[in-house]
Structure 1
Amino acid sequence: MAEIVIRNTNERITGEENVREFLNNQEVVYEHWNMEKLPAALQENFKLSDDDKKRILDIFDVEIRDLAARRGYKIWDVITLSESTPNIEDLLKKFEEVHTHSEDEIRAIVGGKGIFIIKGSDDVGYFNVELEPGDVISVPENTPHFFTLMENKQIIAVRLFIEENGWVATPVADPQFQ
Protein backbone atom coordinates (compact mmCIF):
# COMPACT_ATOMS: atom_id res chain seq x y z
CA MET A 1 0.00 0.00 0.00
CA ALA A 2 1.29 3.44 -0.92
CA GLU A 3 2.61 5.79 1.75
CA ILE A 4 3.18 9.54 1.55
CA VAL A 5 6.04 11.53 3.05
CA ILE A 6 5.69 15.31 3.00
CA ARG A 7 9.26 16.44 2.41
CA ASN A 8 9.28 19.75 4.32
CA THR A 9 7.72 18.33 7.52
CA ASN A 10 8.59 14.60 7.33
CA GLU A 11 4.93 13.87 8.07
CA ARG A 12 4.04 10.32 6.98
CA ILE A 13 0.55 9.47 5.72
CA THR A 14 -0.44 5.79 5.77
CA GLY A 15 -3.57 3.75 5.22
CA GLU A 16 -5.36 3.41 1.88
CA GLU A 17 -8.15 5.89 2.63
CA ASN A 18 -5.77 8.52 4.08
CA VAL A 19 -3.42 8.17 1.10
CA ARG A 20 -6.31 8.32 -1.38
CA GLU A 21 -7.78 11.42 0.31
CA PHE A 22 -4.42 13.24 0.41
CA LEU A 23 -3.64 12.45 -3.23
CA ASN A 24 -7.15 13.36 -4.33
CA ASN A 25 -6.70 16.76 -2.65
CA GLN A 26 -3.49 17.15 -4.71
CA GLU A 27 -5.38 16.13 -7.89
CA VAL A 28 -3.35 12.92 -8.18
CA VAL A 29 -5.30 9.79 -9.16
CA TYR A 30 -4.68 6.79 -6.90
CA GLU A 31 -6.13 3.31 -7.30
CA HIS A 32 -5.20 -0.19 -6.23
CA TRP A 33 -5.17 -3.38 -8.31
CA ASN A 34 -5.59 -6.91 -6.97
CA MET A 35 -2.10 -8.42 -7.10
CA GLU A 36 -3.35 -11.92 -6.27
CA LYS A 37 -4.11 -12.24 -10.00
CA LEU A 38 -0.43 -12.06 -10.92
CA PRO A 39 1.73 -15.16 -10.37
CA ALA A 40 4.60 -14.55 -7.94
CA ALA A 41 7.07 -15.62 -10.63
CA LEU A 42 6.09 -12.55 -12.67
CA GLN A 43 6.09 -10.18 -9.67
CA GLU A 44 9.61 -11.19 -8.70
CA ASN A 45 11.27 -11.49 -12.12
CA PHE A 46 13.07 -8.28 -13.01
CA LYS A 47 14.40 -9.67 -16.32
CA LEU A 48 11.07 -10.15 -18.06
CA SER A 49 10.91 -11.50 -21.60
CA ASP A 50 8.56 -9.94 -24.13
CA ASP A 51 6.23 -12.90 -23.57
CA ASP A 52 6.26 -12.26 -19.80
CA LYS A 53 5.40 -8.61 -20.38
CA LYS A 54 2.54 -9.59 -22.70
CA ARG A 55 1.27 -12.00 -20.05
CA ILE A 56 1.21 -9.20 -17.44
CA LEU A 57 -0.72 -6.98 -19.85
CA ASP A 58 -3.16 -9.85 -20.54
CA ILE A 59 -3.68 -10.52 -16.81
CA PHE A 60 -4.52 -6.85 -16.15
CA ASP A 61 -6.34 -6.27 -19.44
CA VAL A 62 -9.67 -5.38 -17.77
CA GLU A 63 -8.04 -2.87 -15.40
CA ILE A 64 -5.92 -1.33 -18.17
CA ARG A 65 -8.83 -0.96 -20.57
CA ASP A 66 -10.98 0.53 -17.81
CA LEU A 67 -8.31 3.16 -17.06
CA ALA A 68 -7.80 3.81 -20.77
CA ALA A 69 -11.52 4.35 -21.34
CA ARG A 70 -11.85 6.72 -18.36
CA ARG A 71 -8.68 8.74 -18.96
CA GLY A 72 -8.10 8.64 -22.72
CA TYR A 73 -4.99 6.43 -22.82
CA LYS A 74 -4.30 4.83 -26.18
CA ILE A 75 -1.24 2.63 -25.71
CA TRP A 76 0.46 0.82 -22.82
CA ASP A 77 3.52 -1.24 -22.05
CA VAL A 78 5.45 -2.88 -19.24
CA ILE A 79 8.80 -1.57 -18.04
CA THR A 80 11.18 -3.35 -15.73
CA LEU A 81 14.27 -1.88 -14.11
CA SER A 82 16.81 -3.48 -11.80
CA GLU A 83 20.54 -3.67 -11.12
CA SER A 84 20.76 -5.89 -14.22
CA THR A 85 19.36 -3.14 -16.49
CA PRO A 86 22.18 -1.83 -18.68
CA ASN A 87 23.21 1.71 -17.67
CA ILE A 88 20.77 1.73 -14.72
CA GLU A 89 22.63 4.53 -12.94
CA ASP A 90 22.53 6.76 -16.04
CA LEU A 91 18.81 6.05 -16.46
CA LEU A 92 18.13 6.90 -12.83
CA LYS A 93 20.00 10.21 -13.15
CA LYS A 94 17.75 11.05 -16.12
CA PHE A 95 14.64 10.07 -14.16
CA GLU A 96 15.70 11.99 -11.05
CA GLU A 97 15.28 15.45 -12.55
CA VAL A 98 12.17 17.50 -11.84
CA HIS A 99 10.11 17.80 -15.02
CA THR A 100 6.58 18.04 -16.40
CA HIS A 101 4.71 16.37 -19.26
CA SER A 102 1.91 17.49 -21.56
CA GLU A 103 -0.08 14.41 -20.47
CA ASP A 104 -0.58 12.49 -17.23
CA GLU A 105 2.22 10.16 -16.16
CA ILE A 106 0.71 6.93 -14.92
CA ARG A 107 2.26 3.85 -13.44
CA ALA A 108 0.69 0.67 -12.12
CA ILE A 109 3.29 -1.07 -9.99
CA VAL A 110 3.19 -4.87 -10.38
CA GLY A 111 6.57 -5.77 -8.85
CA GLY A 112 9.23 -4.07 -6.76
CA LYS A 113 8.94 -0.54 -5.39
CA GLY A 114 9.30 3.03 -6.62
CA ILE A 115 8.80 6.62 -5.55
CA PHE A 116 7.13 9.54 -7.28
CA ILE A 117 8.31 12.90 -5.94
CA ILE A 118 5.52 15.37 -6.76
CA LYS A 119 5.05 19.10 -6.25
CA GLY A 120 1.81 19.61 -4.36
CA SER A 121 -0.17 22.66 -3.44
CA ASP A 122 1.63 25.67 -1.93
CA ASP A 123 0.76 24.61 1.63
CA VAL A 124 2.19 21.10 1.06
CA GLY A 125 5.18 21.53 -1.24
CA TYR A 126 6.95 18.45 -2.55
CA PHE A 127 5.93 15.02 -1.29
CA ASN A 128 7.06 11.44 -1.89
CA VAL A 129 4.61 8.72 -2.85
CA GLU A 130 6.23 5.39 -1.97
CA LEU A 131 4.65 2.75 -4.20
CA GLU A 132 4.52 -1.03 -4.05
CA PRO A 133 2.77 -3.77 -6.04
CA GLY A 134 -0.89 -3.01 -6.67
CA ASP A 135 -0.51 0.78 -6.42
CA VAL A 136 -1.67 2.77 -9.46
CA ILE A 137 -0.91 6.48 -9.62
CA SER A 138 -1.43 9.18 -12.23
CA VAL A 139 0.45 12.46 -11.90
CA PRO A 140 -1.49 15.23 -13.67
CA GLU A 141 -0.08 16.86 -16.77
CA ASN A 142 2.09 19.94 -16.18
CA THR A 143 2.73 18.94 -12.54
CA PRO A 144 6.43 19.08 -11.54
CA HIS A 145 7.59 15.61 -10.47
CA PHE A 146 10.02 12.78 -11.04
CA PHE A 147 10.03 9.03 -10.55
CA THR A 148 12.84 6.93 -9.13
CA LEU A 149 13.50 3.56 -7.58
CA MET A 150 13.75 2.70 -3.92
CA GLU A 151 16.91 1.32 -2.35
CA ASN A 152 16.41 -2.21 -3.75
CA LYS A 153 16.43 -0.76 -7.31
CA GLN A 154 13.79 -3.17 -8.64
CA ILE A 155 10.49 -2.34 -10.31
CA ILE A 156 7.99 -3.70 -12.79
CA ALA A 157 5.32 -1.25 -13.91
CA VAL A 158 2.57 -0.89 -16.48
CA ARG A 159 2.70 2.52 -18.15
CA LEU A 160 -0.15 4.06 -20.14
CA PHE A 161 0.15 6.84 -22.71
CA ILE A 162 -2.05 9.15 -24.76
CA GLU A 163 0.72 10.10 -27.19
CA GLU A 164 2.16 7.24 -29.21
CA ASN A 165 5.70 8.51 -28.62
CA GLY A 166 5.19 8.37 -24.84
CA TRP A 167 5.89 11.15 -22.43
CA VAL A 168 8.12 14.01 -23.44
CA ALA A 169 9.78 15.51 -20.36
CA THR A 170 10.17 19.26 -20.00
CA PRO A 171 12.78 20.01 -17.31
CA VAL A 172 11.75 22.35 -14.49
CA ALA A 173 14.27 24.38 -12.53
CA ASP A 174 12.42 24.77 -9.23
CA PRO A 175 14.23 26.42 -6.30
CA GLN A 176 11.54 24.99 -3.99
CA PHE A 177 12.70 21.44 -4.71
CA GLN A 178 14.95 20.05 -2.01
Structure 2
Amino acid sequence: MAVIKVRNTDEIISGEENVKEFLLNQKVLYEHWDITKLPAELHGRCQINDEEKQTVIDTFESEIKSLAERRGYGSWDVVALSEATPNIEELLKKFEQVHTHTEDEVRAITAGHGIFIIKGSDDTGYFDVELEPGDVISVPEGNPHFFTLMEDKQVVAVRLFIDSTGWVAHPFKDPEFQQS
Protein backbone atom coordinates (compact mmCIF):
# COMPACT_ATOMS: atom_id res chain seq x y z
CA MET A 1 0.00 0.00 0.00
CA ALA A 2 1.08 3.54 -0.72
CA VAL A 3 2.55 5.69 2.04
CA ILE A 4 2.68 9.49 1.89
CA LYS A 5 5.21 11.78 3.55
CA VAL A 6 4.37 15.49 3.61
CA ARG A 7 7.72 17.26 3.29
CA ASN A 8 6.79 20.49 5.15
CA THR A 9 5.52 18.73 8.26
CA ASP A 10 7.07 15.22 8.13
CA GLU A 11 3.51 13.88 8.53
CA ILE A 12 3.19 10.24 7.43
CA ILE A 13 -0.11 9.07 5.94
CA SER A 14 -0.74 5.34 5.54
CA GLY A 15 -3.68 2.99 5.09
CA GLU A 16 -5.56 2.75 1.81
CA GLU A 17 -8.52 4.94 2.82
CA ASN A 18 -6.31 7.64 4.42
CA VAL A 19 -4.03 7.71 1.35
CA LYS A 20 -7.00 7.83 -1.02
CA GLU A 21 -8.64 10.67 0.94
CA PHE A 22 -5.44 12.74 1.15
CA LEU A 23 -4.72 12.33 -2.56
CA LEU A 24 -8.32 13.07 -3.52
CA ASN A 25 -8.02 16.36 -1.60
CA GLN A 26 -4.90 17.06 -3.69
CA LYS A 27 -6.82 16.19 -6.91
CA VAL A 28 -4.66 13.07 -7.45
CA LEU A 29 -6.41 9.81 -8.35
CA TYR A 30 -5.44 6.74 -6.29
CA GLU A 31 -6.66 3.18 -6.75
CA HIS A 32 -5.42 -0.24 -5.75
CA TRP A 33 -5.44 -3.23 -8.11
CA ASP A 34 -5.34 -6.86 -6.96
CA ILE A 35 -1.73 -7.80 -7.68
CA THR A 36 -2.38 -11.48 -6.91
CA LYS A 37 -4.01 -11.71 -10.36
CA LEU A 38 -0.53 -11.71 -11.94
CA PRO A 39 0.93 -15.12 -12.79
CA ALA A 40 3.19 -16.29 -9.95
CA GLU A 41 6.33 -16.14 -12.12
CA LEU A 42 5.89 -12.37 -12.55
CA HIS A 43 5.44 -11.53 -8.86
CA GLY A 44 8.27 -9.25 -7.82
CA ARG A 45 10.16 -9.55 -11.14
CA CYS A 46 11.35 -6.28 -12.63
CA GLN A 47 13.39 -7.64 -15.51
CA ILE A 48 10.73 -8.77 -17.95
CA ASN A 49 10.61 -9.22 -21.71
CA ASP A 50 8.03 -7.94 -24.20
CA GLU A 51 5.93 -11.11 -23.96
CA GLU A 52 5.81 -10.78 -20.18
CA LYS A 53 4.88 -7.10 -20.51
CA GLN A 54 1.95 -8.18 -22.68
CA THR A 55 0.98 -10.70 -19.98
CA VAL A 56 0.82 -7.80 -17.48
CA ILE A 57 -1.47 -5.87 -19.84
CA ASP A 58 -3.64 -8.92 -20.48
CA THR A 59 -3.89 -9.67 -16.75
CA PHE A 60 -5.12 -6.18 -15.91
CA GLU A 61 -7.12 -5.62 -19.10
CA SER A 62 -10.42 -4.93 -17.30
CA GLU A 63 -8.81 -2.50 -14.83
CA ILE A 64 -6.91 -0.71 -17.61
CA LYS A 65 -10.00 -0.39 -19.80
CA SER A 66 -12.12 0.82 -16.88
CA LEU A 67 -9.60 3.51 -15.99
CA ALA A 68 -9.16 4.45 -19.66
CA GLU A 69 -12.91 4.85 -20.16
CA ARG A 70 -13.34 6.91 -17.00
CA ARG A 71 -10.40 9.24 -17.67
CA GLY A 72 -10.15 9.40 -21.48
CA TYR A 73 -6.93 7.43 -21.95
CA GLY A 74 -6.44 5.96 -25.39
CA SER A 75 -3.23 3.95 -25.17
CA TRP A 76 -1.09 2.14 -22.62
CA ASP A 77 2.12 0.22 -22.26
CA VAL A 78 4.35 -1.35 -19.63
CA VAL A 79 7.70 0.04 -18.55
CA ALA A 80 10.23 -2.08 -16.66
CA LEU A 81 13.26 -0.47 -15.03
CA SER A 82 16.01 -2.12 -13.00
CA GLU A 83 19.75 -2.07 -12.45
CA ALA A 84 19.95 -4.01 -15.74
CA THR A 85 18.37 -1.11 -17.69
CA PRO A 86 21.05 0.50 -19.88
CA ASN A 87 22.05 3.96 -18.62
CA ILE A 88 19.69 3.69 -15.63
CA GLU A 89 21.51 6.44 -13.70
CA GLU A 90 21.28 8.91 -16.61
CA LEU A 91 17.64 8.01 -17.12
CA LEU A 92 16.86 8.60 -13.44
CA LYS A 93 18.55 12.02 -13.53
CA LYS A 94 16.10 13.05 -16.27
CA PHE A 95 13.17 11.75 -14.17
CA GLU A 96 14.32 13.52 -11.01
CA GLN A 97 13.47 17.02 -12.13
CA VAL A 98 10.19 18.73 -11.32
CA HIS A 99 8.10 19.02 -14.46
CA THR A 100 4.53 19.16 -15.77
CA HIS A 101 2.69 17.51 -18.66
CA THR A 102 -0.21 18.51 -20.89
CA GLU A 103 -1.98 15.32 -19.80
CA ASP A 104 -2.16 13.15 -16.69
CA GLU A 105 0.82 11.00 -15.67
CA VAL A 106 -0.55 7.59 -14.76
CA ARG A 107 1.32 4.66 -13.22
CA ALA A 108 -0.03 1.31 -12.03
CA ILE A 109 2.80 -0.47 -10.20
CA THR A 110 2.87 -4.24 -10.77
CA ALA A 111 6.35 -5.04 -9.37
CA GLY A 112 9.04 -3.17 -7.48
CA HIS A 113 8.24 0.29 -6.22
CA GLY A 114 8.78 3.97 -6.88
CA ILE A 115 8.11 7.42 -5.51
CA PHE A 116 6.10 10.28 -6.95
CA ILE A 117 7.07 13.67 -5.57
CA ILE A 118 4.05 15.91 -6.14
CA LYS A 119 3.32 19.58 -5.49
CA GLY A 120 0.17 19.78 -3.40
CA SER A 121 -2.03 22.68 -2.42
CA ASP A 122 -0.41 25.84 -1.05
CA ASP A 123 -0.90 24.73 2.56
CA THR A 124 0.43 21.21 1.87
CA GLY A 125 3.45 21.86 -0.33
CA TYR A 126 5.39 18.94 -1.78
CA PHE A 127 4.72 15.39 -0.68
CA ASP A 128 6.19 11.98 -1.52
CA VAL A 129 3.98 9.04 -2.44
CA GLU A 130 5.81 5.72 -2.06
CA LEU A 131 4.12 3.21 -4.34
CA GLU A 132 4.09 -0.59 -4.02
CA PRO A 133 2.68 -3.30 -6.30
CA GLY A 134 -1.03 -2.75 -6.83
CA ASP A 135 -0.90 1.02 -6.29
CA VAL A 136 -2.31 3.13 -9.13
CA ILE A 137 -1.86 6.90 -9.27
CA SER A 138 -2.78 9.62 -11.75
CA VAL A 139 -1.13 13.02 -11.34
CA PRO A 140 -3.32 15.59 -13.14
CA GLU A 141 -2.08 17.50 -16.15
CA GLY A 142 -0.23 20.68 -15.28
CA ASN A 143 0.54 19.54 -11.72
CA PRO A 144 4.27 19.83 -10.89
CA HIS A 145 5.80 16.47 -9.97
CA PHE A 146 8.41 13.88 -10.77
CA PHE A 147 8.75 10.12 -10.44
CA THR A 148 11.82 8.24 -9.32
CA LEU A 149 12.85 4.85 -8.03
CA MET A 150 13.73 3.76 -4.53
CA GLU A 151 17.25 2.63 -3.65
CA ASP A 152 16.92 -0.84 -5.20
CA LYS A 153 16.01 0.82 -8.53
CA GLN A 154 13.31 -1.62 -9.62
CA VAL A 155 9.82 -1.06 -10.97
CA VAL A 156 7.33 -2.43 -13.47
CA ALA A 157 4.43 -0.12 -14.22
CA VAL A 158 1.51 0.13 -16.60
CA ARG A 159 1.41 3.63 -18.10
CA LEU A 160 -1.75 5.09 -19.61
CA PHE A 161 -1.86 8.02 -22.04
CA ILE A 162 -4.40 10.22 -23.74
CA ASP A 163 -1.94 10.61 -26.61
CA SER A 164 1.44 8.98 -26.05
CA THR A 165 3.02 11.00 -28.87
CA GLY A 166 2.26 14.22 -27.00
CA TRP A 167 3.47 13.10 -23.58
CA VAL A 168 6.37 15.48 -23.01
CA ALA A 169 7.88 16.68 -19.74
CA HIS A 170 7.96 20.47 -19.41
CA PRO A 171 10.53 21.63 -16.81
CA PHE A 172 9.03 23.47 -13.85
CA LYS A 173 11.37 25.73 -11.89
CA ASP A 174 10.01 26.06 -8.38
CA PRO A 175 11.87 27.83 -5.55
CA GLU A 176 9.61 25.95 -3.06
CA PHE A 177 11.01 22.59 -4.14
CA GLN A 178 13.97 21.20 -2.24
CA GLN A 179 15.53 17.78 -2.74
CA SER A 180 15.32 15.69 0.39
TM-score (norm 1): 0.98
Report % sequence identity: 67
Could you tell which deviates more after superposition, 163-172 or 78-87? 163-172
Count the aligned residue pairs: 178
4+ residue segments displaced more than 3 Å: none
Q: Does 1:50 align with 2:50?
A: yes
Q: Does 1:31 align with 2:31?
A: yes
After superposition, give the CA deviation of every residue in 1:86-139 in whole Å (9 maximum; x if it has no partner): 000000000000000000000000000100000000000000000000000000
What's the CA shift for 1:43? 2.7
The root-mean-square deviation of aligned C-alpha atoms, in Å, is 0.8
Secondary structure, counterpart of 2:86 in structure 1: coil
Where does residue 158 of structure 1 map in the other structure? 158
Q: Does 1:88 align with 2:88?
A: yes
After superposition, give the CA deviation of every residue in 1:22-70 in whole Å (9 maximum; x if it has no partner): 0000000000000110123213222211110001100000000000000
What's the CA shift for 1:166? 5.1
Contact 1:115-1:147 within 8 A present in 2 as well: yes
Secondary structure, counterpart of 1:53 in structure 2: helix
| CA 1:110–1:166: 2 relative to 1, 3 Å | farther
Contact 1:29-1:137 within 8 A present in 2 as well: yes
Where does residue 65 of structure 1 map in the other structure? 65
Q: Which runs of 5+ in 1 are unaligned?
A: none
| CA 1:80–1:73: 2 relative to 1, 3 Å | same
Contact 2:32-2:136 within 8 A present in 1 as well: yes
Secondary structure, counterpart of 2:46 in structure 1: coil
Where does residue 148 of structure 1 map in the other structure? 148
Secondary structure, counterpart of 2:116 in structure 1: strand
What's the CA shift for 1:158? 0.1
| CA 1:166–1:3: 2 relative to 1, 3 Å | farther
Where does residue 120 of structure 1 map in the other structure? 120
After superposition, give the CA deviation of every residue in 1:115-174 in whole Å (9 maximum; x if it has no partner): 000000000000000000000000000000000001111000000001131520000010
2:9 counterpart letter in structure 1: T
Secondary structure, counterpart of 1:165 in structure 2: helix
